[in-house]
Every structure is written in structure tokens, then in C-alpha cells.
């Protein structure tokens, strides 16, 4: 009986021994004596290293190039919470502000040159009596206004400090939808902050924010105080100046994830013009117009084109007036460029220098004609 039982168990015992030997080779840690399993380690949870990417090194330079801006605005009597802001108090260096006659607006800016030029939004410093700038390294300085361009909502200020960190500008100024971007600024006066997103769209216009619009759209968070700050790509390069969060006036709602930034190519040209000339000089034809739709074009003028510029007004003694254009004329071409988008056509004219010749092809009383206008200087209000 006993021998039979042993014979019965022997195969199972041998199998167990073989399994144990195999496990010693496959998973030797199961047979290692331990005194406890650490919950945390120097590399994080357990001993597994994280593979999540970090952009801290890339953004370090960019963060040093973004500043806080506090502008003192003359306003009616009001209670100003920002006067108690420790950041602003440090910038004031103990000086008193009459809270009954002044208000403090906050924003951001980007260092554009080692000489102290800073580019920001015009609405950040508009009508300011005094502008104070706080750097990422803790230094602060009063700023002077170099010039503004309300048509693009950009402005340039200057501080007298050394060892500044200008933002890096990409060699290729053309960003793409889907590119990773970071918004750096001073939201709600909290101090320097970074939010991440992508470029969601390009060339956004007809929003009624500025005269000239070609915004980058991003879902990186842009809040009050971010205005004038930097939109940075994954290489740490400046691709835009953060300007606004889209507000739908028709529904009185603030849209989620729709931030707007002025592209670097526009900002760089405005910066160059203001620094070298004190203002942005644009070509001017002197017309008011409305968008011309295809259906009206076909029915009235028998033209096969999508859009054009129907003149609703011509300014007296303007280049258009002197060249012979009249209200009711349908402009179809500037130089040899077919007018397919009125915004592009407007930008085409304003990018030309005053004194430049502009060939204008138009339709009047169902007849084509071409004239040459000598562009003037665009008034600041037009």
C-alpha cells in the first residue's frame, strides 16, 4: 500500500522539482531574500524610470526672454487690487500711487534685443502714464515707449538694463497646423507661467479685433495678463505674440481653447519699423469698399470670379481720387493679382511703400479699364 502510494506521488514530486529548477532560471528574483519593498525611489515609483518628455531645457531660454508688464493708467476713482500685488509693490520701490486716480493694467512682453527693446500688445500699455517691467531673474526697471501700431495691436517699449536675453526667432518663419507650442506670460498677475498646446489654425481674420488680422489660433491657454507674451515652438523659438482669447460676440460667450497670437513675421516687421522709424509706414490708396460676391458679379457684370472690391467711397484728394477711381467701380486686380480675398488685397496695398506705383484694373459700366495710382502714406486711423 505504501509503495503504491509512493509510486503514485513520485511523478508529481519530480514535476515539482523540475518546475522549481526552471523558475530559478526564469525568475531568480522570486528566490531572493528581501527585507522590504520600497514604495518610492530616486527615479520615481518603484525603480522604473519615466519616459515622459520634458521641455524644461528648451523653454529655459525662452522663459528668460518673457517679462511682466505693469502699466499705470489714469482712470476714475476705483479700488485697485493690483496695488497690493507684491510683484508690483517691489517694482514701485516704495513709491506711492494715488489709488483714486490711477489703475494698473498687467500684461506680458518679449525681449527683442540686447539693447532693451521689448515687444508687447498695444492694448497692454495704451494710455499709460508709467510702464514698469519685471524680468524673470527678479530685476525690474521703468520702461519708455518707443512706438505703437494700433492697426496690429503691437507696441515697442525699452528698458535700460544689461545682460538681457532676447527671444530666439526661427529661420523659417512659417509655422504649421499641428506644431507643438507653449504660451509664456503673466496670467492674472500670478507670475510667469507656461501652458502647452498646438497650432490649431492660421491666418484667422475678420474677427473685428484689429485693422490687420492674420492670427495664429492655438489651444494653449491664453488668459488675461498673457497679452504680449510669447508663443514658443518646441525648439524654443518665438513664433507669435499672444494677444487674445476668442470671444463670440454673437453668443456673448468666451470660447474654450481658442487663443490668438500675432505671427512672428508680422511682429518682426512692426518691430523693425518702429525701432528704425518710430512708426509703421504703410502704403495707402484711399478707398472704402465692400466685399463683392460671385452671384452679384455674374448677374450684374457678367464676370466669372469669386470676389472683388466694390468701391463704396473714395477719399478726396487721395491716390485713388487723383487716379480717377469713383464709388461704384469694381476693382478686379491690383497689379496683375486677381482679387480673390479682400483681406489679402488690403495687406498687399499696405505692404507697399508710399510713393510706389500700383496698377489698378477695374470695371465701370460693364467696361474694363486700368489706371496707375501713386500710393500715399496710410493715416494712422485708416
Q: Are residues 224 and 302 in the same domain?
A: no
Query: Exposure of 373 by Cβ count < 10 A (0-12 exposed, 13-18 middle, 19+ buried)?
Result: buried
Query: Per the structure block, which three cell numbers stand in for 335?
Result: 497689379
**Residue 362 belongs to a domain:** yes
Number of residues in the chain: 382
CATH code, 352: 2.30.42.10
Q: Are residues 77 and 154 in the same domain?
A: yes
Paired with 196 in beta bridges are 182
Q: Are residues 334 and 291 in the same domain?
A: yes
Last residue of a domain, one of 277, 312, 330: 277
SS3 374: strand
Last residue of a domain, one of 251, 277, 303: 277
**Residue 92 belongs to a domain:** yes
Q: Are residues 148 and 185 in the same domain?
A: no
Instruction: Write down the pTM of the prediction.
Output: 0.72
Instruction: Please provide the DSSP assignment of 11-76 as one string.
Output: HHHHHHHHHHHHHHHH-GGGGS--S---SEETTEETTPPP-----HHHHHHHHHTEEEEEEEEE-S
What's the confidence (pLDDT) of residue 46?
44
Spell out the residues 6+ positions from residue 14 whose beta carbon is closer than 8 angstroms to its own. Answer: none
Angle at 160 (CA atoms; ends 159, 166), nearest 5 degrees: 65
Nearest to 358 by CA among 366, 370, 369, 367: 370
Query: Per the structure block, which three cell numbers stand in for 150?
Result: 494700433
**255 φ/ψ angles, rounded to the nearest 5 degrees:** -75, 150
Helix (H) or strand (E) holding 321: helix 319-323
- Asked if residues 259 and 245 have their Cβ atoms less than 8 Å apart, the reply is yes
Paired with 370 in beta bridges are 361
pLDDT one digit per residue (tens) for the chain, 382 residues: 555 555 555 666 666 666 666 656 565 555 555 454 444 444 444 445 555 678 888 899 999 999 999 998 876 544 444 444 554 445 544 444 444 456 788 899 999 999 999 999 999 999 899 999 999 999 999 999 999 999 899 999 999 999 999 999 988 777 889 899 999 999 888 888 899 999 998 888 777 677 777 888 998 988 888 899 999 999 999 999 999 877 665 554 556 668 899 999 999 999 999 999 998 989 999 988 776 555 444 555 555 554 688 888 999 999 999 999 999 898 989 998 888 777 777 888 988 999 999 999 998 888 889 999 999 998 875 5
Q: Are residues 72 and 147 in the same domain?
A: yes
**Residue 72 belongs to a domain:** yes
* 102: containing domain: 56-158
Alpha helices in 248-293 (DSSP H): 264-277
Catalytic center residues? 123, 153, 227
Q: Are residues 61 and 154 in the same domain?
A: yes
**Residue 50 belongs to a domain:** no
**Residue 264 belongs to a domain:** yes
Q: Are residues 314 and 271 in the same domain?
A: no
Q: Are residues 111 and 189 in the same domain?
A: no
**Residue 30 belongs to a domain:** no
Paired with 181 in beta bridges are 197, 233
What's the confidence (pLDDT) of residue 33?
52
Last residue of a domain, one of 244, 277, 310: 277
Paired with 195 in beta bridges are 183
Q: Are residues 233 and 298 in the same domain?
A: no
**Residue 85 belongs to a domain:** yes
Q: Are residues 305 and 272 in the same domain?
A: no
**Residue 223 belongs to a domain:** yes
| 25 Rama sector, left if φ>0, alpha if ψ -120 to 50, beta otherwise | alpha
CATH code, 65: 2.40.10.10
Paired with 352 in beta bridges are none
What's the confidence (pLDDT) of residue 211?
76
Q: Are residues 144 and 238 in the same domain?
A: no
Q: Are residues 205 and 271 in the same domain?
A: yes
Nearest to 361 by CA among 327, 328, 335: 335
Query: What are the percentages of helix, strand and coil residues in the chain, rounded to 5?
Result: 25, 35, 40
Please count the structural domains in the chain.
Answer: 3
Amino acid at each position: 500500500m505504501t509503495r503504491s502510494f509512493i509510486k503514485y506521488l513520485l511523478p508529481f514530486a519530480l514535476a515539482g522539482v523540475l518546475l522549481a529548477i526552471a523558475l530559478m532560471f526564469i525568475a531568480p528574483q522570486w528566490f531572493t531574500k528581501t527585507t522590504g519593498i520600497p514604495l518610492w525611489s530616486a527615479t520615481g515609483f518603484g525603480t522604473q524610470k519615466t519616459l515622459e518628455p520634458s521641455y524644461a531645457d528648451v523653454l529655459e531660454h525662452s522663459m528668460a526672454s518673457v517679462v511682466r508688464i505693469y502699466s499705470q493708467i489714469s482712470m476714475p476713482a476705483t479700488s485697485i487690487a493690483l496695488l497690493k500685488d507684491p510683484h508690483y509693490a517691489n517694482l514701485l520701490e516704495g513709491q506711492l500711487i494715488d489709488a483714486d486716480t490711477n489703475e494698473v493694467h498687467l500684461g506680458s512682453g518679449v525681449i527683442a534685443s540686447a539693447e532693451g527693446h521689448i515687444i508687447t500688445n498695444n492694448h497692454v500699455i495704451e494710455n499709460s502714464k508709467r510702464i514698469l517691467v519685471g524680468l524673470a531673474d527678479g530685476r525690474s526697471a521703468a520702461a519708455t515707449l518707443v512706438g505703437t501700431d494700433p492697426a496690429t495691436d503691437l507696441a515697442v517699449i525699452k528698458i535700460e538694463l544689461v545682460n538681457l536675453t532676447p527671444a530666439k526667432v526661427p529661420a523659417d518663419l512659417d509655422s504649421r497646423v499641428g506644431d507643438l507650442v507653449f504660451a509664456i506670460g503673466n496670467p492674472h498677475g500670478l507670475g510667469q507661467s507656461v501652458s502647452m498646446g498646438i497650432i490649431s489654425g492660421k491666418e484667422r481674420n475678420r474677427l473685428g479685433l484689429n485693422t490687420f488680422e492674420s492670427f495664429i489660433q492655438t489651444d494653449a491657454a491664453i488668459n488675461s495678463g498673457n497679452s504680449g507674451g510669447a508663443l514658443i515652438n518646441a525648439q524654443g523659438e518665438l513664433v507669435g505674440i499672444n494677444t487674445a482669447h476668442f470671444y463670440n460676440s454673437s453668443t456673448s460667450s468666451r470660447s474654450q481653447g481658442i487663443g490668438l497670437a500675432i505671427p512672428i513675421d508680422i511682429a518682426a516687421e512692426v518691430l523693425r519699423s518702429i525701432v528704425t522709424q518710430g512708426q509703421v509706414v504703410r502704403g495707402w490708396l484711399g478707398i472704402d469698399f465692400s466685399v463683392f460676391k460671385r452671384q452679384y458679379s455674374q448677374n450684374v457684370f457678367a464676370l466669372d470670379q469669386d470676389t472683388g472690391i466694390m468701391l463704396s467711397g473714395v477719399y478726396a484728394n487721395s491716390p485713388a481720387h487723383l487716379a480717377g477711381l469713383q464709388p461704384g467701380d469694381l476693382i478686379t486686380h491690383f497689379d496683375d493679382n486677381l482679387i480673390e480675398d479682400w483681406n489679402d488685397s488690403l495687406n498687399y496695398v499696405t505692404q507697399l511703400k508710399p510713393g510706389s506705383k500700383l496698377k489698378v484694373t477695374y470695371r465701370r459700366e460693364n467696361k474694363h479699364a486700368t489706371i496707375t495710382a501713386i500710393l500715399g502714406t496710410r493715416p494712422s486711423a485708416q
